Amino acid sequence: MRIVTFALALATAVACCVVGASAASAQDGDLIVKTTAGPVQGFRSGNLSAFLGIPFASAGRWEMPQDPKPWIEPLRATRYGPICPQANGSTDQVDSTTEVYWAEEPWNIVMPPPSEQSEDCLRVNVYVPADVDDAAGAPVMVWIHGGAFLNGNGNGFASPPETLVGKGVVLVTFNYRLGALGFFAHPDLKDDTNFGLFDQIAALRWVQENIEQFGGDPSKVTIFGESAGGAAVEILMVSPLTKNLFHRAIVESGSIMQSQNVTVDDAKWIGVAVGEAMGVEAGPSQLEKMRDAPFADIVSATLQSMQHGVFPDVVFIDGKSMDTDAITGFLEGRNHKVPMIIGTNQNETNVWYGDSSYAGGFPLPMLQLTPELSAYVPPTSKVNYENIIRKVYKGSANEILSLYPADQPLESSERMQTNMQFLTGTLMIANAMAGRGEDVRLYQFTQKPEGAAGEKFGTYHGYELPYVFGSASARAQAPITNPALADQMSSYWSNFARVGDPNAEGLPEWKTLPSASANEWFILGPEVGTESIPKDVLEQNAASRSIFLQYLDIPKLMSEFQS
């Protein structure tokens, strides 16, 4: 890592060239790294150095990201920056803004509270192994957070991410704009849209321009993410703007819901609807008034409009950042040809069904839009469940009911939602890549938490995160119950980032998918290794493929519901 100590930087003037030295050689003082916008001052903790809250771009409301305003004095990158505006913050954040500023001390970072939100939120965090070798350059892993493109942030570590960084990788996380502030179209914006996606692309460009200064190798960049972050990886894999910005990809529980077959012209009504939810009438001055409103009004209007079939949380086809939706891009072979790991958890949506928030594979707000459907909510009885299936799926209802029987309505709804939102798309992408001879590996995570959580929810959405990041993960409130698996998974992920192959001596061999008709996946659980995909899972997803592709056009689907 190219660093100088704080005292040396002052003595030689900040504007001078920064000397080359490894992180291990900086015994005293705080770490200073020179970026394209200016020097940043980090700190050391245990076996890593951290640089937090670095601006990677700046953007006005509903404007494309630009280079950040440069600075001269070292930026104190010792605390996380504000999160992007959203309805709620991460549950593990501490309600304090006290700055932590030191070197060679145990990690005791204080997260900004959920209330510390700002539209000036485009910040990147960099975690570097203390013994990184400048000559070789460490592999780089860029994490994209989930949260349905509505919430979440890149400040997800209340304790150091030593498990992954300790495997010799440079870890990068970042924020991107969310909800109607990030995924928005409006008649007065012409073709500008997908602001949150452009933020992600700007972050990857920042990595290419700066990561070498931190000891990372810009030719070994792996993007990885979970849930909407996994969907973002899929989207970036087919975006025409991301060629050569990354070299491997990992998708954890990516959802097909975040990329739809909707053009920016067809989506402009979404911006008008959000404005009306704010109390701003449609017309020539609507966008101007929306620009002047507090961001809290837009966040509130986002949630209100979603109750009426408006979904400002998806990427649209704009002819610039996206030429097609992500699934179609993979099916047609328009994805970047880089190695990929992709997979899901065994019981993704179990944790969402405790409050009956889904029915027949659909979120309840969609079903409650029409009296005909809302009469059968919640689907806790066989009669209600079957009526919802017949009214939603119409001519395909008998096939759906044979795969997801009505005598177990909640179990069938959960399995349907897990398939529709996560597994079906995952299998489609993996099989399409394998059919073209591309390097793709498919996994299923099956490790359950101990106790009541495991018994009730199984291997639920997001539970794999502690096994990748260790106790630093925001999901670590569900503790790791299989430390050996955690070590294996972080090794698979870091090996893949290093050489494009997760395998290494001492690990069960994980092979690429051999063909488009492969019926095996790699189990990551109490037992690790290749297993046949259960016959009922194959049958459900084969039948579901054509039916669930309708979800790529939510506005059309909503119109059919209401007709």
Distances from the Cα of 122 to the Cαs of 32, 149, 210, 328, in angstroms? 21, 15, 16, 30
Domain ranges of the chain: 3-261, 268-311, 346-562
Q: How far apart are CA 270 and CA 311, in angstroms?
A: 7
Q: How far apart are CA 143 and CA 223, in angstroms?
A: 6
Structure tokens at 367: 């079903």
Contact 71, 37 (CB under 8 A): yes
Contact 171, 141 (CB under 8 A): yes
Name 302's Cβ contacts closer than 8 Å, sequence gap at least 6. 87, 150, 179, 180, 274, 277, 312
Which amino acid would we find at residue 558? M
Contact 495, 501 (CB under 8 A): yes
Residue 356: phi, psi to the nearest 5?
55, 45
Contact 198, 264 (CB under 8 A): no
What DSSP assignment string belongs to 344-370?
EETTTTGGGGGGT-EETTEEHHHHTTS
Strand extents, DSSP E, 88-158:
123-129, 138-144
Contact 449, 481 (CB under 8 A): yes
The domain made up of 346-562 has a fold known as: Rossmann fold (3.40.50)
What's the pLDDT score for residue 260?
74
Distances from the Cα of 226 to the Cαs of 120, 139, 461, 537, in angstroms? 24, 20, 9, 22
Contact 170, 129 (CB under 8 A): yes
Contact 489, 496 (CB under 8 A): no
Which amino acid would we find at residue 426? T
Q: How far apart are CA 344 and CA 501, in angstroms?
A: 19
What's the pLDDT score for residue 377?
66
Which amino acid would we find at residue 185? A
Contact 149, 34 (CB under 8 A): no
Q: How far apart are CA 238 and CA 253, in angstroms?
A: 17
Question: DSSP assignment, residue 420?
Answer: I
Q: What is the rounded average pLDDT for all residues in the chain?
A: 81
What's the pLDDT score for residue 457?
80
Q: How far apart are CA 346 and CA 350, in angstroms?
A: 9
Looking at 249-344, list the stretches that DSSP marks H as alpha helix, in order from N- to C-terminal side: 264-277, 286-292, 295-306, 326-331
What's the pLDDT score for residue 416?
82
Name 81's Cβ contacts closer than 8 Å, sequence gap at least 6. 52, 53, 55, 112, 121, 123, 155, 175
What's the pLDDT score for residue 490?
94
Percentage of the chain beyond pLDDT 70 is 77
Instruction: Using the structure block, give the residue that is written with the tokens 């070789």.
Output: 136
Q: Which residues pair with 123 in a beta bridge?
A: 55
**Top-tier CATH class for 3-261:** alpha beta
Tell me whether the CATH fold assigned to 3-261 matches the one assigned to 346-562: yes
Termini Cα distance of the chain: 61
Q: How far apart are CA 345 and CA 449, in angstroms?
A: 12
Spatial CA neighbour of 249 closest among 510, 14, 471, 433: 433
What's the pLDDT score for residue 557?
53
Residue 100: phi, psi to the nearest 5?
-105, 130
What's the pLDDT score for residue 95?
29
Q: How far apart are CA 409 and CA 505, in angstroms?
A: 46
**Residue/partner pairs of 66-74 with CB below 8 Å, 24 or more apart:** 67/36, 67/37, 68/37, 68/122, 69/37, 70/37, 70/38, 71/37, 71/38, 71/39, 72/14, 72/15, 72/38, 73/14, 73/38, 73/39, 74/6, 74/9, 74/14, 74/32, 74/38, 74/39, 74/40, 74/41
Residues of the chain with pLDDT under 70: 1-30, 88-115, 133-136, 158-159, 258, 307-312, 351-379, 471-478, 547-563
What's the pLDDT score for residue 94?
28
Question: DSSP assignment, residue 257?
Answer: G
